[in-house]
Structure 1
C-alpha cells in the first residue's frame, strides 16, 4: 500500500502498526541508528514520517503479521477534517458492499475518495465488516471530545427495555425509530436485540458525516436479516422526515443543553401535547417528539441528564406526563454509563396508552429505579458493572404492570399524589433512599461481618505483638541516592502530562496525582499513554514526595501515569525486594528526616530516604512483616468504615422508633 511521507505518526501509533508495546518502539529508537528521525512533535511526544516508518518496519521484518488497517488509518486521520475522514470511511463501506459503485458521497475531496477506494479494496481482502468497524472505532476514539455516543451495553439495554415494555400489536413488522441517531449505536442495537422478519429501523441525524456512518453501520448489521433500514439526514425537530410515521419502539440519546433547538419556529407545533417546552428545556422537546411518534401501546426509552427530572422550568410538562400515564418509569444510571461520564444520567421510559380492552388507565404509580450502586470504581475498566445492572433494571421493570409484584432493593413505586407536588421531582434517589433502611436480616449480617473483621484484627494483633527486636544489633543503611548509583534501583519523577487529561479509552492510562492520594487514593483521571512521561508498572515502588501525603507502596494495579511529586522506583530483583524497599521507605521517621519540615506542603527528598542494608534472604523476612502491618492497617480501616455504617443505620432506626421494647 502506498503511503505519503508527510503523514505524521506518534510512538503509540507505530506500536499499534507493528503490534508491539510502546516500550518496544522506544527501544528500537534507542538501539537502531537507522530508525527514522523525528519530523515534528516534541521530545516527549515525537512524530515520525509514516512512509519512513513503514519502510523501516518492513526492512527489519517487523510487519510480517500486521494487516493494512493500521497503516491506512494515519492517512485517513491526516485528512485533517473530522467530517471528511468520516465520509471517507462511509464511502469505503459503501464500496465494500457494492464494488461496482461509481458515484461518491457528496463532500469528498479527491484525496479522501482515493483513500476510500483503497480502504474498500482492503476491506474486500481482510473482511469488509471488520475493516469498517476498525476504522469507525478509531474515528470515534480520535474525535471522542466532539462526539457523544451511546456505549453498546447501554444501547442494548435500552433496546431490550423498549421491546419488553411495549404492549399490544403483533410481533412481526415492528417499527423502531431513532430521531437523533449519531453513528447508529441505538439503531444497530435494535437490530441485534430483535432481528425478526419485517423489522423496520428508521433513523435521523442532522450531521451528514454521522448519518452516512450510521447508514453504513446499519447496512452491515442488517445483512442477512429481513430488516429494512433507512437513515435520513435532517434536523428531526425542525424538519421531521418521519412526520407521519408511528413506531412500536422509539429510542434516543438526544443532544443535551442545546438552546437553539427551534423554540420560536416550533411554538405552535402539534407535538407539544403536554405543553410548549421552555427554551431552556430542549430535552423535553425530544421527549414529546418521541411520544408523538408512538403507536398505541408503543414504548420510548430516552437518555436524559439528571437535571431534567427536577428543573423548575419543566415542572408543568413532567406533571402532565405523569398524570396521563405517559411517563411510566425513570432509571438512574451509574456515572460512567455514557457521556458525560461524570454524571449519573437517567433513562426515561414512556408508553402510549394501548387500544382496546385491558388498556392501562392513566394516573398510575410511577416506577423509580436507582441503579447507581452498580458503578465501577477503582479500576481501569470504564463503565459500570453492565451485566448485574442490566439484570437489575430488567427485573425491576417486570413489575411495571403488576402492582402486587415485589420489587428489588433500589426500585420503588411512588403514588402520583407524592410526585405531583410543587416540584414534580422524578429523581429516583429522592424516593429510593427513604426505603433503603436495612432489614433485620441485613443488620444481623452487618454485625456478623463487623465481628469477623474484629476477630481477624485481634488475631493479626496477637501475631504482630509476638515480634521480638534486638536492641543492640548494629544496623547500616544506604540512601536511595546511593542505591541508584549502585544500580540496585532506578528512580524517575512523575510530571504533569504535556497533552492534559484524556477520556478513558484504549489509548489512555489512569493518571494518579497527590490530590487523588489525599482523597480516596484512586486515580481520578486518564491521560494518553504517549504523553505520560512516567508510568508505574506492576511491581514498581511508588513514593509520594510531599509531607502531607507521604507514603510508599508496591504498585499492584494496571500501568498508571504519575503526576508531579510522585516517584517510581524500579528495583533490581537480584539485589532488592520491592516490598522490603517500600516498607523501609514509608516509615514515618524516614519521611521526617528526609523532609524540609517547612510546612505540610513541604517536599520529601526521595534520594535522602534510608534503606536497611540486608542480604536478600533477610529482606524477604522483613518484607513479610511489612506486608502484615499493611494488612493490619487495611483491616483496621475496614473495621472503622463498617462500624460507622452500623452506628449510622442503628441510629436512624432508633430515631424512627423502631426499637422493640
Structure 2
C-alpha cells in the first residue's frame, strides 16, 4: 500500500504548500543542511518525500494555513491513474456532503479509499465546497493537455445568452440539457444564472471520471436550491440517455474534430432532419442533436471551431439550418476565450421550431456578431475582456427578434438570400467588415484625442527637460528591508487565490495579477470581500516582483487584491512620500540590481530595492518629478495606441476610395 511517506513532491509543490515562491524553496535547500534529501527525479527537477517535507516545514516554522489542502493533492496525484484520481476527488466530495456515508466506488483501490476518507474529514473541517473546488482545479490543471474545459466566464455568458434568446417563459420548471458536460462548468453556470422557482439539469458525459466530477460539482452548486439534477455516463450521440426529453435550454461545448463519432451506425438516425452530417463534420451532428432536444421556442448555445461556419462539406446542412430558422445567430469570440486558445471560436445560437410558426422579417435573416475586438492581447496568450464582451454580446442578442432595432457595432443582420450562395459562409467577420469602418466623425474624434495627448506630452517634456542634476554628490540609500525594520513602511506579498474565489459571482474586489500587467494592466479577476487576500488601498505602493513585468506605482481608487509576485507597500506618511517611494523603486537600474537575470521569469527581491534617504520635505520635489515622468510614460503609450489605430483606419478608408481632399 502506498503511504504518505512514499508520495513524491517537486520544488514547485513544496512552494505551494508553504505559500512561497519556488526560489525561496531552492534557497532553503541550499542554506539548511536539514532540508530533506532528494528521493527521486533529477538534479534539475528533484523530488522529495511529502512526509519529510511536512515535518521539516513544521520544525522550521514555515508552514502556513494553506498547507492542509496542498498536502492532500500530491497524494491524489500519486495514485497515478487520471481516472482513479478523478473518481477519488468526486467520491471525496460526496462524503464531504454526506458525513455518514461510506466510500462505495468499486473502482477505487484501498489506497484511494483511505485517501478519500481523509480528504472528506479535512473538507468537512475546512469547508467542503472550497476543498472540493481546490482539488478539482488541481486535477484539471494536472491533466490540462488531456481535457478541454469551458472557462467559468464563458459558461456564464452562454447561460445568459440562452436565457435571453429562448421564447416562452411561463413554465414553472426550467429544463437544461448539456449532452457533453465534461466536469460540469456549463451545467453549474446554468444553475447560477437561473433565478426562477424550479430547475431540472440533465447532463451526459462519456468519461466516467468527468461525469462523477460534474455530479459532485452540481451537488455543491445546487445546495439549498429547488434544483433536480441527473448526470448520465454515456456517449450522447451513440446512446442518448435522454431520448425523447425536451429542454428549454441546451448548452454544449462538444469535442472538436472527432472522426469516430458514429457516422456509420448513425447514418439513418432520425435526428438528422437537416441532413446526414459528413464524417468530417461531427460538430454538425452535435448541433442537430441539440435541436432534437429543444422544446418549441427553446434555445441552445454551442461552442464551435470557426471552420464549421465555412467548410464546404457542411454547406447543405448550414443552408437548411438557416432556411428553417434554427440557426438564429453566430458570435465570433476573441482568441483565448477557451481551448484551443489560439483560435477565434464561435458561439452558434439555435432555436427550436415554434408550434405555430409565423414567418416574420426577423426570421428571414441571421444575426452575425463579430466580438473578436474584445481581446486583451498579452505577452503569453490572448484573452478577452469578459465584462465588456458579455455586455456587448447580450446587447446584440436582445434585438434578435426586433428587426427595426438599431444594431450595435460589429453586428449585422444578413438576409438569407445573401447567405444561401455556393458557400453558405456564416463567419461573422466576412459580413461585418464593411460596417466596422470608422465614420468621418469617429476619425475626427480620434485625431482630436491624439492631438490632446501630444499637447499634454509637450507640457511634460517642457517640465522634465528643465530638470538639472548634480554629479559626483554621494547619496545615501536604504533598502526596502531596512525601511520595513525602521517602521517607515509595511510590506505584504500578494497571494494565489483559489479558483472558487477568483470566479466567485459574489466577488466585489478586483484582483490584479502579473498576466494582467503584461496585457493592459486591468484587473482580470475578482475576489469576495471576506476572502483572505492581500489588498492595497488608495495611496499604497504596488510593486511587481518579476523581471518581465517589473514596475512600481501608487495605487489610486477603490481597494484592489494582489495576486502572486505582486507586493503592497504602505508608507508611514510622516516618514515617506508614496510617490517618492514608487519613483525610486521603479528605476530600471534598481530592478537590475535586486533581480536575477537567468530568464525573464526571474524574481526581483523586493527587500533589496534601494530608496534614497531624504527628509520628508525634500522628497516632495522628487515626488512631483516622478509623477510627471509616470504621466509622460502613460501618455506615450496612449499616443502610440491612438496613432497606430489611426494609421490602420485611415489606410483602410484611403484604400476604399472616395478621397475628397
Quickly name the TM-score band, shorter chain normalised: 0.7 to 0.9
Contact 1:577 1:623 in 2 (8 A): no
Q: CA deviation at 1:160?
A: 1.1
580 and 182 in structure 1: CA distance in 2 versus 1, 3 angstrom threshold = closer
Contact 1:162 1:299 in 2 (8 A): yes
Contact 1:367 1:414 in 2 (8 A): yes
Please give the secondary structure, in 1, of the residue aligned with 2:177. strand
CA distance in 2, matches of 1:113, 1:96: 14
Contact 1:161 1:394 in 2 (8 A): yes
- Bigger mean CA deviation after superposition, 141-150 or 33-42: 33-42
CA distance in 1, matches of 2:643, 2:122: 62
Quote the residue 1:281 is aligned against: 281
377 and 656 in structure 1: CA distance in 2 versus 1, 3 angstrom threshold = closer
Quote the residue 2:27 is aligned against: 27
Quote the residue 1:487 is aligned against: none
CA distance in 2, matches of 1:647, 1:372: 20
How many residues in Structure 1 have an aligned counterpart in Structure 2? 560
Contact 2:291 2:352 in 1 (8 A): yes
Q: CA deviation at 1:227?
A: 1.1
Q: CA deviation at 1:259?
A: 0.6
- Bigger mean CA deviation after superposition, 440-449 or 647-656: 647-656
Q: CA deviation at 1:466?
A: 5.6
CA distance in 1, matches of 2:118, 2:644: 64
Quote the residue 2:296 is aligned against: 296
Whether 2:429 is the aligned partner of 1:429: answer yes
649 and 382 in structure 1: CA distance in 2 versus 1, 3 angstrom threshold = closer
Whether 2:225 is the aligned partner of 1:228: answer no
Q: CA deviation at 1:65?
A: 3.4
Quote the residue 2:374 is aligned against: 374
Please give the secondary structure, in 2, of the residue aligned with 1:76. helix
CA distance in 2, matches of 1:294, 1:625: 64
Q: CA deviation at 1:445?
A: 1.0
CA distance in 1, matches of 2:450, 2:163: 44
Whether 2:172 is the aligned partner of 1:172: answer yes
554 and 582 in structure 1: CA distance in 2 versus 1, 3 angstrom threshold = farther
CA distance in 2, matches of 1:44, 1:376: 35
Quote the residue 1:136 is aligned against: 136
Q: Please give the per-residue CA displacement for 1:438-469, whole angstroms capped at 9, x wherever unaligned.
A: 12331221110221233234445555666789
Scaled by the length of structure 1, the TM-score of the pair is: 0.75
Whether 2:196 is the aligned partner of 1:215: answer no
CA distance in 1, matches of 2:546, 2:9: 32
Q: Please give the per-residue CA displacement for 1:157-214, whole angstroms capped at 9, x wherever unaligned.
A: 1111111211025242121110000011111111111153331111000001111111
Whether 2:264 is the aligned partner of 1:264: answer yes
Please give the secondary structure, in 2, of the residue aligned with 1:203. strand
Contiguous gaps of at least 5 residues in structure 2: 474-501, 503-512, 522-541, 554-562, 566-579, 593-611
108 and 17 in structure 1: CA distance in 2 versus 1, 3 angstrom threshold = same
Contact 2:365 2:413 in 1 (8 A): yes
Please give the secondary structure, in 1, of the residue aligned with 2:173. coil
Contact 2:251 2:301 in 1 (8 A): yes
- Bigger mean CA deviation after superposition, 357-366 or 277-286: 357-366
Whether 2:416 is the aligned partner of 1:439: answer no
Whether 2:240 is the aligned partner of 1:246: answer no
Please give the secondary structure, in 2, of the residue aligned with 1:71. helix
Please give the secondary structure, in 2, of the residue aligned with 1:251. strand
Q: CA deviation at 1:15?
A: 2.4
Q: Please give the per-residue CA displacement for 1:413-459, whole angstroms capped at 9, x wherever unaligned.
A: 11111111221111111122210121233122111022123323444
Q: CA deviation at 1:357?
A: 7.4
CA distance in 2, matches of 1:93, 1:283: 33
Please give the secondary structure, in 1, of the residue aligned with 2:313. helix
CA distance in 2, matches of 1:114, 1:541: 41
CA distance in 1, matches of 2:550, 2:184: 44
Whether 2:122 is the aligned partner of 1:161: answer no
Quote the residue 1:48 is aligned against: 48
Contact 2:375 2:382 in 1 (8 A): no
CA distance in 1, matches of 2:636, 2:19: 45
Q: CA deviation at 1:131?
A: 1.7
Please give the secondary structure, in 2, of the residue aligned with 1:283. helix
Contact 1:272 1:285 in 2 (8 A): yes
108 and 392 in structure 1: CA distance in 2 versus 1, 3 angstrom threshold = same
Please give the secondary structure, in 1, of the residue aligned with 2:433. helix
Contact 2:275 2:316 in 1 (8 A): yes
Contact 1:353 1:360 in 2 (8 A): no
582 and 263 in structure 1: CA distance in 2 versus 1, 3 angstrom threshold = same
- Bigger mean CA deviation after superposition, 405-414 or 644-653: 644-653
Quote the residue 1:589 is aligned against: none
Q: CA deviation at 1:101?
A: 3.1
Quote the residue 1:454 is aligned against: 454
Quote the residue 1:187 is aligned against: 187
CA distance in 2, matches of 1:457, 1:169: 56
Scaled by the length of structure 2, the TM-score of the pair is: 0.75
556 and 335 in structure 1: CA distance in 2 versus 1, 3 angstrom threshold = farther
CA distance in 1, matches of 2:468, 2:94: 76
232 and 208 in structure 1: CA distance in 2 versus 1, 3 angstrom threshold = same
Q: How does 1:324-403 map to 2 (within 5 A)?
A: 324-356=324-356, 364-378=364-378, 383-403=383-403
- Bigger mean CA deviation after superposition, 330-339 or 40-49: 40-49
Whether 2:85 is the aligned partner of 1:85: answer yes
Contact 1:93 1:132 in 2 (8 A): yes
257 and 64 in structure 1: CA distance in 2 versus 1, 3 angstrom threshold = closer
Please give the secondary structure, in 2, of the residue aligned with 1:174. strand
Q: CA deviation at 1:17?
A: 2.0
Contiguous gaps of at least 5 residues in structure 1: 476-505, 523-536, 544-552, 561-572, 586-614
CA distance in 1, matches of 2:455, 2:228: 64
CA distance in 1, matches of 2:100, 2:545: 56
Q: CA deviation at 1:284?
A: 0.7
Quote the residue 2:99 is aligned against: 99
Please give the secondary structure, in 2, of the residue aligned with 1:68. helix
Contact 1:577 1:616 in 2 (8 A): no
Q: How does 1:200-211 map to 2 (within 5 A)?
A: 200-211=200-211
Q: CA deviation at 1:374?
A: 1.5
Contact 1:250 1:290 in 2 (8 A): yes
31 and 197 in structure 1: CA distance in 2 versus 1, 3 angstrom threshold = same
Quote the residue 1:57 is aligned against: 57
